[in-house]
Chain A
């Protein structure tokens, strides 16, 4: 009898021989049973401002207890956390932190939410799921920052425990996903629609990389798809690229490119468009009705907030998001 197993967590769908480890580096076939190698073994544990995730329309000025294990389902050449995402669990410095302890620590640090982040939470799916379940029982919200490269069934299950998700939409191009990330675009678009259907608060991050995905036509297509399929209230974060990992030969994204991306998104009808990884007024939230400044941010910190009970303090327009 064969002891091969077929992993059905992410669209890569690895078929693993006995004692073989998946492409994510975190799941191993041991005598016909698939095991997680990272359950309860985070390599990154921090208390972060929620703005760092980035979530700009979800409990502003609160802290998120943030965890990650080694591994990733993709292999992006521009990864900003490659030291842990492109590493195996035996190569990272891990802690023993079972789900109940994660929640206990989040409560101790008075965090309103737990974020599964830094690397790719799909690779520590079982750990995230069990932690999220306990967190819910204690009134702590769950959020994830993910590349969205996950199959529908596991996503629908975890989405029921998620209050918010920030998905990296890396480019609106199958060719880019295949050549630069080692994945496909279609499953990510499907995941975005599933998250919307399941009712999780959604924000999208797009890292703008000079010459790779900064073509205005590509950005226009992406924003058009978001407006049509997810609606104009989904915040888009255009994040500035810095040369890391395998794309060290490229310069940081120029300010003009970032501004152009924001203009394109606004033209497509998107109401909340941000520029990140660079200090500017692009970090602030403005009312889409009266254009007044609602949330002023400096880096990850909120300087002023004029959103009252989910509405603009000046004109009473409802501002999409989770505010309390």
Chain B
């Protein structure tokens, strides 16, 4: 029982951290698409 609670605690913590980083990162994202460039062949 204690072991399950311990594992659950870490899993929930990890999930919160992941969601926070992915969804609530500053500006909604880490990188901004740049302007003035083109793909080369």
Contact = CB atoms under 8 A, between A and B. Distances in A.
A6 B40 contact: yes
A32 B39 contact: yes
A4 B34 contact: no
B38 A126 contact: no
A4 B38 CA distance: 9
Interface string A103-141: 000000000000000000000011101000000000000
In this complex, the interface size class of chain A, counting residues with CB under 8 Å from chain B, is 20 to 34
Contacts of A40: 26-27, 32
B27 A96 contact: yes
B38 A5 contact: yes
Contact of B40 (A5, A35, A125): A5
B36 A9 contact: yes
Nearest to A26: B34
Contacts of B9: none
B39 A2 contact: yes
A40 B25 CA distance: 12
Interface residues of B, number: 13
Contacts of A182: none
A5 B36 CA distance: 10
Given A40-B26, A40-B27, A125 B36 contact: yes
A99 B33 CA distance: 15
A5 B33 CA distance: 13
Given A40-B26, A98-B26, A30 B36 contact: no
Contacts of A39: 27, 31-32
Interface in B1-41: 26-27, 31-41
A126 B35 contact: yes
Contacts of A4: 39-40
B39 A37 contact: no
Contacts of B39: 2-6, 32
Nearest to A7: B37
A5 B37 contact: yes
